[in-house]
Amino acid sequence: MHPIDLRSDTVTLPTEAMRRAMATAELGDDVFGEDPTVVRLETLAAEMTGKEAAMLVPSGTMANLICLLTHCGRGEEVILGDQAHIFYYEQGGSAAVGGIHPRTVPNHPDGTLDLTAVRDSIRADDPHFPRTRLIAVENTHNRCSGTPLEAAYLQAVADLAAEHGLRVHMDGARIFNAAAALDVPVADLAGPVDSLSFCLSKGLSAPVGSLVCGRETFIRKARRNRKVLGGGMRQAGVIAAAGIVALQEMTGRLVDDHRYARRLAEGLSAMRRARIDPERIRTNIVYVNLDPEGRPAAEIVARLTDAGVRVGATGPYQFRAVTHYGIRQEDIDRALKAFALILD
Ligand code: TLP
């Protein structure tokens, strides 16, 4: 029997339509701006997010780094959540590469930041302090149960930023999951922020690629930062072709992933050694806390792997399961049987 891989939605493979589009894509040198397929993808991404322009980059990590480098100079500060992917999982790249200072505010379990805490973190104009430039939010919030952030909250962040002359960046790696869960167009969520990054290679199943979206002037500056990081790609239309299919054909089915994640969480919540509130699962990410008196996550993950189900340990007593295009209802039923043998 095939293993059920719930480690991440990054494991998704390109669809047949994507492979066909990649094989037949019209190509050119994108560093010269001459790859027509990349231009088509960037135009489509800008249209769908309601932004003036967009730029294809190799990964979500590079997309975020480029955005931070474009908004902030060396010694300047970004305010972001302590659970943010940018802070937690990107090697501190903006500090290491860009000299950008991170100022964290605790994330609420729903992925939001307390706006009073954000306001209190904005630096006064004083030579002792770095200069605050940016507020970064994440939507959906990976480490906060994949919760989607609503447009009203994003607007409140943007209003606060505007009051203080700051910009707002949104790590929207899974922004299409957020839009599907909230049943709103992506443009409603992108509207309040200055820059947005999103990934083609997660729930949308494309093999590679992320987009940075924002104002024309921002994207022009961001292209320079992409180049210096080595992210300028030549016949990138082979990647972009799959990305176009991802945006045209793969967003509508994300609600299935969300339904399966909820079903998984409901099943897990009934198991003795698993702690999870299924009501919190609104998209495709399920974090499960384990009884700290019992076996640690690494051991549980190894046992699950032996039983044909792959999940990722995200803490000493926590693991994560993510649903995606490769997971069907029968996989959820089979996974729950395996979970029950080990966690009940
Ligand atoms: N997240 C990965 C791991 O890095 C944890 C995953 O499996 O979820 N922003 C967010 C919110 C992300 O979840 C990720 C990837 C990224 C950015 C980075 O994207 P890539 O992997 O394309 O660099």
Q: If you write DSSP's letter for every residue of 196-229 in order, what string do you get?
A: EEEESSSTT--SS-EEEEE-HHHHHHHHHHHHHT
Ligand 1 contacts (CB < 6 A) are: 8, 10, 59-61, 64, 85, 89, 138, 142, 171, 173, 199, 210
Average pLDDT across the chain, whole number: 97
Q: Give the integer Cα–Cα distance in Å for 319 and 315.
A: 7
Q: What are phi and psi of 297, to 5 degrees?
A: -60, -40
What local confidence, expressed as pLDDT, does residue 154 receive? 98
- To test ligand 1's pocket by mutation, which of 9, 68, 80, 89 has the most ligand atoms within 8 angstroms of CB? 89
**Residue 272 reports pLDDT greater than 90:** yes
Q: For residue 5, what are the β-bridge partners?
A: 310
What mean pLDDT is predicted for residues 32-58?
98
Among protein residues, the one whose CA lies closest to atom 9 of ligand 1: 173
pLDDT at residue 19, rounded to an integer: 98
How far apart, in whole angstroms, are the C-alpha atoms of residue 148 and residue 100? 27
135 touches 163 (CB < 8 A)? no
Tracing tokens 């339509």 back to the chain, one arrives at 17
Percentage above 90 pLDDT, the chain: 98
Is the predicted pLDDT of residue 108 greater than 90, yes or no? yes
**To test ligand 1's pocket by mutation, which of 56, 57, 67, 142 has the most ligand atoms within 8 angstroms of CB?**
142
Report the atom number in ligand 1 closest to the C-alpha of 210: 22
Q: What are the DSSP calls for 282-308, one per residue?
A: -SSEEEEEEPTTS--HHHHHHHHHHTT
What are the CA-CA distances from residue 154 to residues 119, 192, 214, 280 (Å)?
Answer: 15, 6, 15, 20
Could you identify the atom of ligand 1 that is nearest to the CA of residue 312? 7
Give the 3-state secondary structure of 104-158. EECECCCCCECHHHHHHHCCCCCCCCCEEEEEEEECCECCCCCECCCHHHHHHHH
Average pLDDT over residues 328-343: 96
Look at residue 96 and give its three-state secondary structure. Answer: helix
pLDDT tier for residue 190 given thresholds of 50, 70 and 90: very high
Evaluate the omega torsion of the peptide bond into residue 283 and state whether it is cis, within 30 degrees of 0.
Answer: no
pLDDT at residue 320 tops 90: yes
Domain over 4-10+253-343 is classified CATH 3.90.1150.10: yes
Output the CA 61–ligand 1 centroid distance in Å: 7
Report the relative pairing of strands 167-171 and 101-105 from DSSP bridges: unpaired
How confident is residue 2, by pLDDT bands cut at 50, 70 and 90?
Answer: confident
- The yes-or-no answer to whether 4-10+253-343 and 12-250 have a common fold is no
CATH fold group of domain 12-250: Aspartate Aminotransferase; domain 2 (3.40.640)
At 152-187, the pLDDT tens digits run: 999 999 999 999 999 999 999 999 999 999 999 999
Mutate to test the pocket of ligand 1, among 56, 85, 86, 320 (most ligand atoms within 8 A of CB): 85
The residue whose CA is least distant from atom 20 of ligand 1 is 60
Backbone angles phi, psi at 285, to 5 degrees: -115, 130
CB atoms within 10 A of CB 315: 13
Look-up of token digits 């507020």: 135
Nearest to 314 by CA among 295, 290, 332: 290
Mean pLDDT on 74-86: 98
Residue 33: burial class (beta carbons within 10 Å; 0-12, 13-18, 19+): exposed
Confidence of residue 223 (pLDDT cuts 50, 70, 90): very high
Ligand 1: which atom is nearest the Cα of residue 62? 23
Is this prediction's pTM over 0.95?
yes
Question: Ligand 1 atom 19: the closest Cα is on which residue?
Answer: 60
- Rounded CA-CA distance 147/62 in Å is 23
Residue with the smallest CA separation from ligand 1 atom 6 is 8
What are the extents of the domains in the chain? 4-10+253-343, 12-250
CA of 129 to the centre of ligand 1 (A): 31
